[in-house]
Structure 1
Amino acid sequence: MKLPEEFVHVPEEFVGLMDMSWAENPASRPSIGYIKSLLHRHNKESDTGIMDTMVKKMESYTSNLEGLVAKRTHELDAEKKRTNELLYKMLPGLIANKMINGDVIYPDNFELVTIFFSDIVQFTRLASASTPVQIIQFLNELYSMFDDIISTYDVYKVETIGDSYMVVSGAPERNGDKHAGAISDMALHIMEKVDNFKIRHMPNSTLKLRIGIHTGPCCAGVVGTTMPRYCLYGDTVITAARMESHGQEQKIHISEPTAVLLKILGTYQVEQRGAMEIKGKGKMMTYWLEGNRTKGTNRRIGHPDIVSM
């Protein structure tokens, strides 16, 4: 009997054994005793015993298994790295580390933080004259610029909602009395960049912002599990938003608590706006932030350094 090419390494007795095992008549099939004697005789004649053969097969299997485990471990590490990177983008580093370590994250009270809100003036008109794709591209370019700016300051971007951009300093990591200065310098930097920002699909239009800043206590913590967010709560958040909505285009509107802290720092140019009727808050003394002498920023040439309050 001539063996097929793929069976040239198989002993003829084994090929015959397979043929006999496929016989339609059960009586023609080989007995277990015959099979055992054939295998025993074959292993006696070979250079290696049956145990050596089994050991070699187990070593080969182990080697393949180790390679498979190493491959799967590498894929798992890469996926874990991507997940952690996404988590660090969604949450403050301090909070992300706690989540990765499996720590319970409790809400935290902060005695003083400074909160920044910005809003695009006449955004509804701009949106109505643009396609949805153009609006998304415009906001992506604008807020990517903001993101680059804030990365150089001791602040944390809380969220963007439509055309509103919210930033905090002093939470989740406390920074003593530096929060008002950090937010103010960031706001001045943003205004400087916005002065020269061009809307790609509306090159003849000028982008204008309103910025509001307030300092006060707040509570902060992680909300949600499917897509967790680090959120701030309290009257300070509402007041900061009111500073923005009651401000004017291309001006930085700040509350009295923020102005007091900036006066203590002694390098900021602040102009008293006067007592304003603020929605839900009543009369409030508010101010315009004009610049910082040490940074070389000044929103208005010839402005006095600091107006007494």
Structure 2
Amino acid sequence: MLQQIILRSAPYSASLTDTQAGQHNNQGTHKEIVLEVKEGSIPPMRPNVPRAACAGDLYQLMEQSWSEFASDRPPFSRIKGFLKKIVGRGSDNIIDHLLERMEIYANNLEEQVAEKTRQFMEEKARSEELLSQLLPKVIAAALTRGEVVAPESYESVSIYFSDICGFTTICAVIPPLEVVTLLNSLYTLFDGIMEEYDVYKVETIGDAYMVASGLPIRNGRRHASEIANVSLRIRRDITSFPLPGKLHESLKVRIGIHSGPCVAGIVGHKMPRYCLFGDTVNVASRMESTGEPMKIQTSETLKDLLDKTGGFELQERGEIHVKGKGTMKTFWLMGSLDGNGTRLAAPAAESSITATRLETI
């Protein structure tokens, strides 16, 4: 502001006399000037003001106002008093008005900066929340900090796959918009269930739904029971899921679960995905595809983990042929058991989730 008063020109611009003579400064564009000032180079970026353009004391005051350290800058009261002294008493009203305008401008600028900062922080929080819904929170936090997330190996995790039986027939009966609404409502139900267990929703592809437990944060052997509980809960809750009027039969799902080692990591820079790789993923998918409607097929590996944990009822299915694996012994997960060995029903779904899906349908 003192530079503008001395040169009677805009910030970082040439003096009025130089401008009229066709001379302009070479300090760059507005964006370049702001970046230079922000960089804090030595000497710092400041307007070009000839020393002969004003009194020495005024020039010194302007230099103090440009100090990199706020504690070294003079307050407005000192600037105001000094300018009154320099200009003279005859122009008190003009100087008072000018400095009052300067103070109002400075105060308004502080308010605008505070408001912009608040808006930026709110937008940043929304972006981070959205990112944490697309990726695991620990991974999203690392990416936000600019860190490189390396792929990681896990010795034992449990993976869930499910698929809607007869989905092709459903798509042929109802319009595409209703199909999207149906899937959105169904997966809203599933997502609500996921929040109650130590699991991570990996992805949905069409009517397929994939969930994992034991990554990215390891949870010992508990991943098997977490996936088992999720499977029982989904199988129970889908029986009461409302359907459009054109569909007369209730939805049915095939569910397959398996445990084993895998590798997980971020794939891609645009729309990055947290992907799982390894034979465990393939076997879990085969457990679903070779299963039966409204049944939960589990591998022998996951069955052994559930036996060690206790509290689940399983029934041997026998040996089946699994593509790429040959013959495998599999089991049906029938339900959970209490301490006395009595089968328990899966926990009821949250009423708020039920209300949401009803409104959506």
Partner residue, 1:251: 295
Q: Over residues 174-220 of structure 1, what are the superposed CA-to-partner deviations in whole Å (9 max), with x where a residue is unaligned? A: 00000000000110011000122221243522211000001000000
Are 1:196 and 2:244 matched, yes or no?
no
Distance 1:201 1:78 in 2: 42
Counterpart amino acid of residue 229 in structure 1: R
1:219 partner SS: strand
Partner residue, 1:242: 286
Counterparts of residues 1-309 of structure 1 (less than 5 Å): 44-48=89-93, 50=95, 52-294=96-338, 296-297=344-345
Following superposition, the deviation at residue 46 of structure 1 comes to 4.3
Distance 1:204 1:54 in 2: 79
Counterpart amino acid of residue 291 in structure 2: G
Distance 1:62 1:135 in 2: 57
CA contact (8 A) 2:170 2:247 kept: no
Distance 1:239 1:134 in 2: 32
Aligned residues: 256
1:225 partner SS: coil
2:240 partner SS: coil
Following superposition, the deviation at residue 233 of structure 1 comes to 0.6
Distance 1:199 1:211 in 2: 20
Distance 2:282 2:183 in 1: 24
Distance 1:283 1:45 in 2: 103
Counterpart amino acid of residue 126 in structure 2: R
Q: Kindly, what percent of the aligned residue pairs are identical?
A: 46
CA contact (8 A) 1:134 1:201 kept: no
CA contact (8 A) 2:266 2:274 kept: yes
- Between stretches 135-144 and 52-61, larger displacement belongs to 52-61
- Between stretches 202-211 and 147-156, larger displacement belongs to 202-211
- Between stretches 140-149 and 52-61, larger displacement belongs to 52-61
Following superposition, the deviation at residue 297 of structure 1 comes to 3.0
Gaps (5+ residues) in structure 2? 1-86, 347-361
Counterpart amino acid of residue 334 in structure 2: E
Q: TM-score, normalised by structure 1?
A: 0.79
Following superposition, the deviation at residue 93 of structure 1 comes to 1.1
Partner residue, 2:46: none
Q: Over residues 19-68 of structure 1, what are the superposed CA-to-partner deviations in whole Å (9 max), with x where a residue is unaligned? A: xxxxxxxxxxxxxxxxxxxxxxx975444474x55433322221121122
Calculate the aligned-residue CA RMSD, in Å: 1.7
The structure that has the greater radius of gyration is 1
Gaps (5+ residues) in structure 1? 1-41, 299-309
Counterpart amino acid of residue 296 in structure 1: L
